[in-house]
Amino acid sequence: MGAMSGEILDNRGRGQAGWNWPSIHPEGRKFALIAAAVAAGFAFMAWETLAWPVGVLVLGIAAFFRDPQRVTPQGDSFIVAPADGLVTLIEQVEPPRELMVDDGSGVAGMAAGPVTRVSIFMSVFDVHINRAPVGGTVRRVVYIPGKFMNADLDKASEENERQHILIERGDGLKIGFTQIAGLVARRIVPFVKPGDMLAAGQRVGLIRFGSRVDVYLPAGTEPRVLMGQKTVAGETVLAEVGQKPLIEGIAQ
């Protein structure tokens, strides 16, 4: 039995934890049901050579849209990973224009100037539910149509279909992140809209079938993750606000 939703756990043994089967997000249930119906139809007609592959496809769809519970570390300085996947890029860049310009809402965007961008690449085997890196108010959700290049490429941040989200904490700090479609991904599905209040680690959307998420850390903050490291959405502490540690790792 896994931890109950909303249960408080800590590093001194409080709470109960155990493994359980992850649920399937409603966004994926319709695809699984359609594939299951097709497989059942093939089986009814005794077309076993088609029924078995489609049956395996049902399992693949269920695995892709799995939505496991996560335990999000609580702390005013923590920025948690918004995606499961592999850290493939860490570099200094300007925030996306859409997160900086005046959008007419009366709420300022991110400040201009170089910040650290951490890119997390999600393969088709990763969980594709994305989560809020910090708690706060959603200030912007900006969808931009584009290409479908390999999401692992640097230029995918500027050319692929993408969706920018800006969250403002209670102290005014703004964290921006971008969901980017890839070669196979063909739809970014948002769960939030401007004005929504979020907790750190809360589900904010998903990208179907392989993609990437970029996180723009605030100025003066460097990541606590390494190139090539695997992150867990809502659990891995990506950075601590105002901290700039040099952390080295060894691939082994």
Q: Domain-by-domain residue ranges, the chain?
A: 23-67, 78-240
Give the model confidence (pLDDT) of 47-74 as tens digits. Answer: 778 778 877 877 888 888 899 999 999 9
- The listed range with the strongest mean pLDDT (29-33, 39-43, 86-90) is 86-90
CB count in 10 Å sphere of residue 159: 14
Q: Name the phi and psi angles at 180, rounded to 5.
A: -125, 125
Q: What is the pLDDT of residue 147?
A: 58
> Could you confirm whether 211 is annotated as catalytic?
yes
Query: Which position among 23, 77, 123, 211 bears the catalytic label?
Result: 211
Q: Give the three-class secondary structure for 100.
A: helix
Average pLDDT estimate for 162-172: 95
What are the distances in angstroms from CA 112 to CA 14, 109, 119?
A: 43, 9, 19
pLDDT at 183: 64
Average pLDDT over residues 8-27: 86
Residue 176: closest CA among 111, 235, 127 = 111
Q: Are 157 and 169 in contact (CB under 8 A)?
A: no
| pTM, two decimal places | 0.86
3-state class (DSSP) for residue 148:
coil
Mean local confidence (pLDDT), 200-207? 94
Average pLDDT over the chain, rounded to an integer: 87
Return the number of other C-beta atoms located less than 10 Å from residue 140's C-beta: 19
The pLDDT value recorded for residue 146 is: 66
Domain at 78-240, CATH from 3.10.20, 1.20.1410, 2.70.70, 1.10.10: 2.70.70
* Helix (H), strand (E) at residue 99: helix 97-100
